[in-house]
Structure 1
């Protein structure tokens, strides 16, 4: 006698929205938009607003697809972590197959639309970003190495390149520096989070750096990665790729980031269970990218 597996009720639209990780998508879309707006005109013309909107929509859909496929693959891990237990799959509000089909369909649609509506370069980089996040970070690195965030950080660094390529059809030095900035920003950002949720990662068996190497090593790595990140943030100014407004904003905000990272890196006691320095660095790191990228767009339009 076989026991029938009970069917879950149809997922709500809010569950499908949750699969796309909208909070993460906000930063992805913003950096992609800034990459597009910072791009120079081609043959005297900026990208048409309709095409620009389409490109940003494709970036959003591609990021959402990657988030959905990430949750499909990591449903077992999410069920073990307190901060992710309420997601649609571990909470039992959706079938895994629904998440898989949604993610694959969204990814295919975003790439096809980008190719036919915008250009091949943007579609190719968008494809690379989705595959990198899903296959390299989620499938290959996440469960195997504490370097998952370091290498996997490239996935979240592609949007400025995609936005620039959508506007110009090619890649240049400035968007590559923006890529480097986000890539190098990712380890301090996520390791600050990992320090105050390391129990969650340990319970799920995810080899995040604080779990595998300990807090002391993680703090030192946060400090070390902040140094090249700061260089990538400021370099557009001395290289003549931006004006003084960006240079000033990037210098000041990066100095604040470095000060917060230094506090975390040199901290020897965690008697304060709230781990406030780590939370401050994590929260500020998000604001930091918004401010720096926003300043670049304003600067390019004022001084170009």
Structure 2
């Protein structure tokens, strides 16, 4: 990176020529707006959307339908994430993990971020309604509103169970993927919704254990910042058991073959072993270097991805 690029990235003085502004400043602004959408989170949401479309179709769904759903889902999730950045701007400046987001760094104004998030929300709803179906559009909009209002504005700063209930917003892609293909709800996507619902606390609490000092400094009552690591690990085990049992329930509900339950049980055993190991390490020390919560966090990402891919692949293997 050149010295001029470094200056722009760090928000220092503007380049001295119009030519430099065109080629360096504009990409920086566009990058800031993309960052507001939190692309890495969107990737995980889409990972629970596309496999469900294959399971709903019991075949390869229309490529155009998959593309339309992915684009609409990306815009909807990006809207929710951008609006979340506006609501959490004061918190983000106090946390190391979020201090380099566009608003704390003053790369984008709060007003511009608000307008950007609202426009994305409108565009995504219309896109999904016209190109997929209005049921999927309504579900995406409901997830958006619940995440911004329910989680970000109401639950996050008021209760240690914030991510338990607020995390429901991240479960909607399972419903959206199913309705995109069938244009109706059924018990199968509801079970998939619940798998993600019970997966979210172990997944996020492992991450929050790593950044518990950040949440404490920001005054956010995330469970790991107000409870001992041993207590958090015990709750992680409880939710992990419910998650694994719910994943097995999908077998009779979705009428899968033997491939899916075999994978679900194997993945569940691996997940539970790591959850119990986390509790064991938490009993010995409160030091993060000993607890190693990120091991479970990274494992949880792989668990969800492989589980949903297994559900999507099962009809083809039969």
Q: TM-score, structure 2 length as denominator?
A: 0.88
Aligned to 2:221: 207
8 Å contact from structure 1 (residues 196, 275) kept in 2: no
Distance 1:280 1:46, change over 3 A: closer
Match of 1:290 in 2: 305
Q: Partners in 1 of 2:166 and 2:108 — Cα distance?
A: 27
The CA deviation string for residues 3-29 of structure 1, in whole angstroms up to 9 with x for no partner, is xxxxx9876111111111111110101
Distance, in Å, in 2 between the alignment partners of 1:250 and 1:201 is 33
* Structure 1 unaligned regions, length at least 5: 1-7
- Contact kept, 8 Å, 1:237 with 1:243, in 2: the verdict is yes
The alpha-carbon distance between structure 1 residues 116 and 258, as it changes in their structure 2 partners (threshold 3 A), is same
Give structure 2 stretches of 5+ with no counterpart: 1-13, 15-24
Tell me whether 1:185 sits opposite 2:199 in the alignment: yes
Residue in structure 2 matching 1:219, options 230, 233, 243: 233
Does residue 151 (structure 1) correspond to residue 165 (structure 2)? The answer is yes
2:44 to 16, 27, 39: 27
Please say if 1:40 is aligned against 2:57: yes
In structure 2, what is the equivalent of residue 5 of structure 1?
Answer: none
Aligned residue runs from structure 1 range 68-79, under 5 A: 68-79=82-93
The answer on whether the counterparts of 1:20 and 1:68 sit within 8 Å (CA) in structure 2 is: yes
Q: 1:54, 1:117 within 8 Å by CA — same for their partners in 2?
A: yes
Tell me, yes or no, if structure 1 residue 80 matches structure 2 residue 97: no
How much has 1:270 moved relative to structure 2? 2.2
In structure 2, distance between residues paired with 1:118 and 1:215:
44
- Higher share in helix: 2
Q: For residue 19 of structure 2, what is the aligned residue in structure 1?
A: none
Provide the residue aligned with 2:6 in structure 1.
none
Give the direction of change, closer, same or farther, for the CA distance of 1:113–1:240 in structure 2 (3 Å limit). closer
Quick check: 1:66 aligned with 2:80? Answer: yes
CA-to-aligned-CA distance 1:69-116 (integer Å, 9 cap, x gap):
111110110000001111111011111111111111001100111111
**TM-score of the superposed pair, with normalisation by structure 1:** 0.92
Q: Which runs of 4+ in 1 moved over 3 A?
A: 8-11, 45-48
Specify the SS of the correspondent of 2:293: helix
Q: Is the contact made by 1:38 and 1:300 (CA closer than 8 Å) also made in structure 2?
A: yes
Q: Partner of 1:251: helix, strand, or coil? A: helix
Q: Which moved more, 1:136-145 or 1:270-279?
A: 270-279
1:127 is matched with which residue?
141
CA RMSD between the two structures:
1.9
Q: Does 1:18 align with 2:35?
A: yes
Q: 1:146-202 deviations in whole A, cap 9, x for unaligned? A: 111000110001101101001000111111111000000000111111112100000
Q: Is the 8 A contact 1:47 1:167 kept in 2?
A: yes
Give the distance between the partners of 2:185 and 2:316, measured in 1 at CA.
19
Q: Residue 124 of structure 1: CA displacement?
A: 1.1
**1:58 Cα deviation after fit:** 0.5
The number of aligned residues is 294
Q: 1:249 aligns with which of 259, 263, 276?
A: 263
CA shift for structure 1 position 206: 0.4
